[in-house]
Structure 1
Amino acid sequence: MQKSIEERIPVIVGIGECIDRPAHAAEGLEPLRLMERAARNAERDAGADVLGAVDSVDVVCEVSWPYPAAPARLCALLGMHPQRAVYGPIGGETPLRFLHEAAIRIAEGLSEVALVVGAEAEYSVGLARKTGVSLPWESRDNTPIIRGNQFMHPQAVLHGIATPSTAYPLFENAATAAWKQSPRTAQDEAAALWERYAAVAAENPFAWLPKAITAAEIRTPGPANRMIAFPYPKSMVANPMVNQGAAVIITSLARARAAGVPEHKRIYIFGGAAADEPRDYLDRAQLDRSHAQSVVLETVLRDVGGDAGVFSAAELYSCFPIVPKIALRILQAPELLPTVTGGLSFFGAPLNNYMTHAVAAMVRHLRSRQRALGLLYGNGGFMSYHHALVLTSDPARANERLKRDYRVQAEADARQLPAPAVIADYAGTAVLETFTVMYDRNSAPAYGSVIARTPQDERVLARVPGADALGIRRLLDAELSPVGAGGHVAPASDGMLHWRFG
C-alpha cells in the first residue's frame, strides 16, 4: 500500500538531555542509564507515548564505558523492540549522519519512528580512577578503541603529533600563515570566538561549565588554564570529562499528528551534505584547509540560496578553534551565531555525542521562531569527517533538499592535490610547512614538532628540542609566523630528526 505524503515527511518531535554530577564516582549514572534517561526525557518532551513505537535505533559510539551489545541493552531498559538497532562508529559528526539517515528512511517509507541516542560518563570514570573506586556498573567491553597512533603515519606517532590535541594545532598554525595573520592576531580571533561559545554555555542548563568567560581569560595561560600545544591553552581544547546524555526522536508527520505531538514542537529536516578527508592527515596535500569541509558547507549554503544570513543560528563544531574559524570563512558569515549549545570546551565534550546535544539545542532555538532555518555542522577524526544538516521550523520547507545521495565526495576528491611522500631519513635544507610546541604541566615548552618540505617537495617531520631556546622562541614568535621559514634537518642522538632554523 502506497504511503501518503504525511507518512513520508520526517519530523523531530522529542529531544531529551541529562547531566549527572556525582559527589562520589560510585554514585554516578553509567552511560546506559544516562541514555535511558535522555530517551525518556525526549518522549516526555514530545508529550506523547512514542518510544514503544520506535522501529529504528542508532546508539552513538560510547567510549567511557563501552558495552557489549549496547543497543540491545538499551532497548531492554526502554522496553523497545525495534526492527533495526545499530551501534555507530567513532566520529563527532556521526549523530548528524544518524539523524539524516533516519529522516531519509522515513521519507522512503522504511521507518515511522526513530531514536538517536548517546551518552558518556568520563567524569565518573576519571574520578573512579583517581580514587581507586570500582564502579558498580554493567559489564563493559574491554576491546581497545582504535586511536590515532594506530592508523597515523609512524613519523607522526614518533614526533608526538598523532592525537587531536597535538594535530589540530598544526592545522591552526598552517591556516594562520595562509591567512597572513600574525600568531597574536590568530589567538585573539580564537579567544573572541570562544568567548561567544562560553556565553551560550552559560545559559544552557545542560552545560558542564555554565560560566561566561572573557576572551582575555580564555587566551591567558595560568594554573587553571595551562598550555597544551601551541597555540591552544586548556580552555581552547574540548573537555571530555563530563557525564552527559542526549536523545532525539524522529517520526513521520502522520505519526506525530496521530500521537498528538503539538505543532509548535515539530521541527523538520531540510537537507544536508557530507564528505571525508583521508583519515591520516599526512595523506593530505594541504594542512591549512579541508576540501571536504569546504564542499559540504558550500553545498548546504547553495541549497539555501547562497546567503548564510538566512540561518537563524548555527552549531559549528568546536573541538578546537580552527574548525569553526575555517567554517565561518567558507560561509562568509563572521557574525553568524556559531553555537546554540555552548561548545565542546564549555558545554562539554561527551566525545562522539556532542552533536546530539546540539540537535536538541537547535530544536529548542527553532521552536521559538517561525519559518526559521538552523545549520548544524559536525566534524570527526583529525578534521577528517564532515557532515552538515539544515533543520527548519517551516513545514513548507520540509524535505526540500532531503535526498538519499547526500554525499558530495566526488567534488571534494576533485579538489585534492597529490599528497607529498613522507620520508623518515633526511639530512639537508627544508622549508617549514607547519608546527606546534608541546608543553609540560607547568606550561613550560617541552619541545617543538615541525612538518617541513624538502627541495624535492617531500614531507619530513622533525623535532626542536626544549633545550634549543632560540628555536623554541622562533616557533612561539607572536608577531611573525615561522611557517615558510627555511631551516636544516639532521639526525640526532635521540634517534629523531631535529630542526634548526637558518
Structure 2
Amino acid sequence: MAADEDRIPVIIGVGEIKDRPAEPREALEPAALMAEALRRAAGDAGDPGLLDRLDSLDIVNSVSWPYPDLPAALAARLGRRPARLNYGPIGGESPVRFIHEAAGRIARGESAVAAVTGAEAAHAVAAARKAGVALPWTAPDPTASRVRDRSYLRPLARRLAASEPTNVYPFYENATAAAWGLTPAEALAEDAALWAAFSRVAAENPAAWIRRGASAEEIATPSPANRPIAYPYNKLMVANPMVNQGGAVLLASRAEARRRGIPEDRLIHLWGGASAVEPRDYLDRDQYAESHAQNAVLDACGRIAAEEGADFSVLELYSCFPCVPRMAARRLGLPPDAVPTTTGGLTFFGAPLNTYMTHAACAMVRALRERPEATGLLYGQGEFVTKHHAVVLAARPAAHPAAHATGMPRVARPHGVQDAADAARGPVPAFAPEPAGDAAIETFTVLHDRDSAPTHGVLICRLADGRRTLARVPGAEAGTIALLKRQDRSPIGLPGRLRPAADGIADWQPA
C-alpha cells in the first residue's frame, strides 16, 4: 500500500448520552453532555486515558443554550484544551464533515487522536421555561440571539413564513412526488411506510428519545397528537428537536490504536467521502425534483464503494423530512423496502439540531462492528437541501485507497464534487418580486396553525414569461386549499392567476 500504514485513519470509540430527568434543573447542560459523551467514547475504545492524548476537537454547533464560549466551557470540563479546538457553523452535515476532515488530518500526519462531539438540551430548556424555573447551568450570553439568520432568503419568502425547514422541505416533497408520477396519496403512503420503519429502528436504539414503533397509518393520519404542520407533513413526519442528547466520535491512526492496545475488531476505517452544496437561497435553484449536490455526493461515494468491489449494506441517509432519504434512496437505486437508517431518524431517535449525524456515526460504528463484511454510507445534509456531505465506512481497510504519487490516500485529499453538481444544474429562472398575471404552480405547501387549521398556502409559481415567484393562497379560501390538498391528483402544473392583495403579496387563484 502506497499510503503510510501509520497514518491510516480509523474510528476507535463512540459514546452517547440521553438525559431525561423529571426535574429540568437536574438535567445536564450541553457542555456536560458533550464531556460525558467523550468519556464514554474513550471507554468504548477501552482506554479512558485517550482524552489526555486528544490533539484535535471539533464541536458541532449547539443552539439550545447560548454559551458565551462553548469551547472554553467544554475544555474546562475535560480538564484540558486540545491544540486544535474548533467550533463549527450551523449545518446538519457538519458532523460528517468534521469526521471526514479529522480523518484527513490523521492521514496527513497532522493529528494523532481527534474527536467530534455535539449535544443539545432543548427539552430541559423548554421544561424549565414552562415551569418558570432557572437552570443552574453556565451563565448564558445575554447578547446571544435565538433568532436564526435568514437574511440570505428573499424578503417575500420570510413574509410568507417560507423560511423555516418545516415549511420549505415540502416544496421538494411535493415536487418529487409529481416528478416520480405518484399521486399525493401514493407519496404519503411511501413516506408513512418509511417513517414507520425508522420508528422501529429507534425503538431498538437505547439512545433514542422515542422508543416505540409507530404504524404507517398513525403517521399518515392527522390527529390531536399528530397535527398537520406543513402539507403533506404531520408532526410525526418532521424532525423532533425537543431532546437532551449528546454524542462523540474518537478517531486516531491505526498505528496509534495499536499502540493503545485497541483490538482490531473495534476499528472502523474511513475509505473516503464527498461534499457539495446547492445555491443557499432555494429560489436560486433550477428545480425542486432533485438535488444536484446530493446526486454528485452520492455518486462519488458510490464510485468509492465500486472501486472496492463493495455495495452499501449499512446506510444512514439524513432524515429530517421524508423527501431527503427518499431522493437519496432513489439515486442509490435502493429497493423500495430498504430501511436506510441504523439510528432511527430525526423524528423518533430525536433531532439534537446540528448533531444528529454524530449519533448516526455512533450507531453505524456499532453496526459495522457487528457486520465486519459490510460497507456503510453515512450521508448528512444541512439547511434547506443545501449542504451535503457523505463518507464511506467499513470494518476493513480499503484495498485500493487511491493513493497518488506522494502517497496521499483518498481520504486525505480534497473531497469536493462541486463541479459535477454545477454541471448538472439547468438554467435558473429570474425571480419576480412583484408578480401579476398568469402563473402555474411549480411546487407548493399549505401551512397550519397549532389547532390544525390552514393559515395559508405558499406556492412557487412560474409566470407566463418563465420567471419564478412566490404566491399565497389565503387559508380562508377553502376551495383552493382543498384543491392543493387533493389526494388523487397533484396540483403541480395547474394554471392560475395572481392578484395583488392589500398587503402587497400576490394571491393565487386557479384558472
Alpha-carbon distance between aligned partners in 2 of 1:450 and 1:308, rounded to the nearest angstrom: 45
Alpha-carbon distance between aligned partners in 1 of 2:308 and 2:327, rounded to the nearest angstrom: 17
Q: Report matched runs for 1:45-84 at 5 Å.
A: 45-48=44-47, 49-84=49-84
Q: Report matched runs for 1:383-402 at 5 Å.
A: 383-397=385-399, 399=401, 401-402=410-411
User: Would the alpha carbon gap of residues 399 and 371 (structure 1) be closer, same or farther in structure 2, given more than 3 Å must change?
Assistant: farther
What's the counterpart of residue 43 of structure 2?
Answer: 44
Q: 1:397 offset after TM fit, Å?
A: 4.1
Residues 102-140 of structure 1 show CA distances to partners (whole Å, capped at 9, x for unaligned) of: 000000000000010010000001111111111111022
What's the counterpart of residue 383 of structure 2?
Answer: 381
What's the counterpart of residue 92 of structure 2?
Answer: 92
What's the counterpart of residue 319 of structure 1?
Answer: 320
Amino acid at match of 2:382: G
Question: For 1:462, what is the secondary structure of its paired residue?
Answer: strand
User: Would the alpha carbon gap of residues 484 and 237 (structure 1) be closer, same or farther in structure 2, given more than 3 Å must change?
Assistant: same
What's the counterpart of residue 476 of structure 1?
Answer: 485
Q: Report matched runs for 1:12-411 at 5 Å.
A: 12-48=11-47, 49-141=49-141, 142-144=143-145, 147=148, 149-305=150-306, 310-334=311-335, 335-397=337-399, 399=401, 401-411=410-420
Question: For 2:351, what is the secondary structure of its paired residue?
Answer: coil
Alpha-carbon distance between aligned partners in 2 of 1:440 and 1:83, rounded to the nearest angstrom: 48
Does structure 2 conserve the Cα–Cα contact (< 8 Å) formed by 1:375 and 1:388? Answer: yes
Does residue 412 in structure 1 map to residue 421 in structure 2?
Answer: yes
Aligned residues: 500
Amino acid at match of 1:206: A
Q: 1:67 offset after TM fit, Å?
A: 1.7
Structure 2, unmatched stretches of 5+, are 403-409
User: Would the alpha carbon gap of residues 262 and 398 (structure 1) be closer, same or farther in structure 2, given more than 3 Å must change?
Assistant: farther
Does residue 422 in structure 1 map to residue 421 in structure 2?
Answer: no
Q: 1:305 offset after TM fit, Å?
A: 1.3
Residues 379-436 of structure 1 show CA distances to partners (whole Å, capped at 9, x for unaligned) of: 0000000001111001344855423211101111111223222212222111110110
Q: 1:205 offset after TM fit, Å?
A: 0.1
Amino acid at match of 1:438: L
What's the counterpart of residue 452 of structure 1?
Answer: 461
Alpha-carbon distance between aligned partners in 2 of 1:309 and 1:145, rounded to the nearest angstrom: 44
- CA RMSD between the two structures: 1.7
Does structure 2 conserve the Cα–Cα contact (< 8 Å) formed by 1:183 and 1:479? Answer: yes
Question: For 2:34, what is the secondary structure of its paired residue?
Answer: helix
Residues 225-257 of structure 1 show CA distances to partners (whole Å, capped at 9, x for unaligned) of: 000000000000000000000000001111111
Does structure 1 conserve the Cα–Cα contact (< 8 Å) formed by 2:271 and 2:304? Answer: no
User: Would the alpha carbon gap of residues 119 and 166 (structure 1) be closer, same or farther in structure 2, given more than 3 Å must change?
Assistant: same
What's the counterpart of residue 492 of structure 1?
Answer: 501
User: Would the alpha carbon gap of residues 398 and 240 (structure 1) be closer, same or farther in structure 2, given more than 3 Å must change?
Assistant: farther
User: Would the alpha carbon gap of residues 307 and 336 (structure 1) be closer, same or farther in structure 2, given more than 3 Å must change?
Assistant: farther
Alpha-carbon distance between aligned partners in 2 of 1:455 and 1:33, rounded to the nearest angstrom: 56
Alpha-carbon distance between aligned partners in 1 of 2:436 and 2:12, rounded to the nearest angstrom: 62
Residues 338-363 of structure 1 show CA distances to partners (whole Å, capped at 9, x for unaligned) of: 00000000000000000000000000
Q: 1:4 offset after TM fit, Å?
A: 8.8
Amino acid at match of 1:18: I
Residues 39-60 of structure 1 show CA distances to partners (whole Å, capped at 9, x for unaligned) of: 0000110001211000000000
Does structure 2 conserve the Cα–Cα contact (< 8 Å) formed by 1:265 and 1:367? Answer: yes
Does structure 2 conserve the Cα–Cα contact (< 8 Å) formed by 1:309 and 1:333? Answer: no
Does structure 1 conserve the Cα–Cα contact (< 8 Å) formed by 2:496 and 2:508? Answer: yes
Alpha-carbon distance between aligned partners in 2 of 1:300 and 1:309, rounded to the nearest angstrom: 11
Could you tell me the TM-score, scaled by structure 2's length? Answer: 0.95
Amino acid at match of 1:429: D
Q: 1:148 offset after TM fit, Å?
A: 5.5
Alpha-carbon distance between aligned partners in 1 of 2:136 and 2:5, rounded to the nearest angstrom: 46
Of 450, 470, 488, the match for 1:461:
470
Alpha-carbon distance between aligned partners in 2 of 1:168 and 1:285, rounded to the nearest angstrom: 16
Question: For 1:395, what is the secondary structure of its paired residue?
Answer: coil
Question: For 2:420, what is the secondary structure of its paired residue?
Answer: helix
Amino acid at match of 1:118: G
Question: For 1:34, what is the secondary structure of its paired residue?
Answer: helix
Alpha-carbon distance between aligned partners in 2 of 1:326 and 1:61, rounded to the nearest angstrom: 26
Q: 1:304 offset after TM fit, Å?
A: 1.1
What's the counterpart of residue 9 of structure 2?
Answer: 10
Q: 1:442 offset after TM fit, Å?
A: 2.1
User: Would the alpha carbon gap of residues 375 and 459 (structure 1) be closer, same or farther in structure 2, given more than 3 Å must change?
Assistant: same
Does structure 1 conserve the Cα–Cα contact (< 8 Å) formed by 2:103 and 2:251? Answer: yes
Q: 1:337 offset after TM fit, Å?
A: 3.1
Question: For 2:229, what is the secondary structure of its paired residue?
Answer: strand
Alpha-carbon distance between aligned partners in 2 of 1:370 and 1:208, rounded to the nearest angstrom: 28
Q: 1:150 offset after TM fit, Å?
A: 2.3
Q: 1:308 offset after TM fit, Å?
A: 11
Alpha-carbon distance between aligned partners in 2 of 1:395 and 1:410, rounded to the nearest angstrom: 28
Alpha-carbon distance between aligned partners in 2 of 1:368 and 1:223, rounded to the nearest angstrom: 40
Question: For 2:145, what is the secondary structure of its paired residue?
Answer: coil
Alpha-carbon distance between aligned partners in 2 of 1:340 and 1:176, rounded to the nearest angstrom: 25
Alpha-carbon distance between aligned partners in 2 of 1:260 and 1:361, rounded to the nearest angstrom: 23
Q: After superposing the two structures, state which structure 1 stretch, 12-21 or 136-145, moved more.
A: 136-145
Alpha-carbon distance between aligned partners in 2 of 1:271 and 1:178, rounded to the nearest angstrom: 32
Residues 195-215 of structure 1 show CA distances to partners (whole Å, capped at 9, x for unaligned) of: 111010000000000111111
Question: For 1:311, what is the secondary structure of its paired residue?
Answer: coil
Does structure 2 conserve the Cα–Cα contact (< 8 Å) formed by 1:174 and 1:287? Answer: yes
User: Would the alpha carbon gap of residues 481 and 220 (structure 1) be closer, same or farther in structure 2, given more than 3 Å must change?
Assistant: same
Q: 1:6 offset after TM fit, Å?
A: 3.2
Structure 1, unmatched stretches of 5+, are none
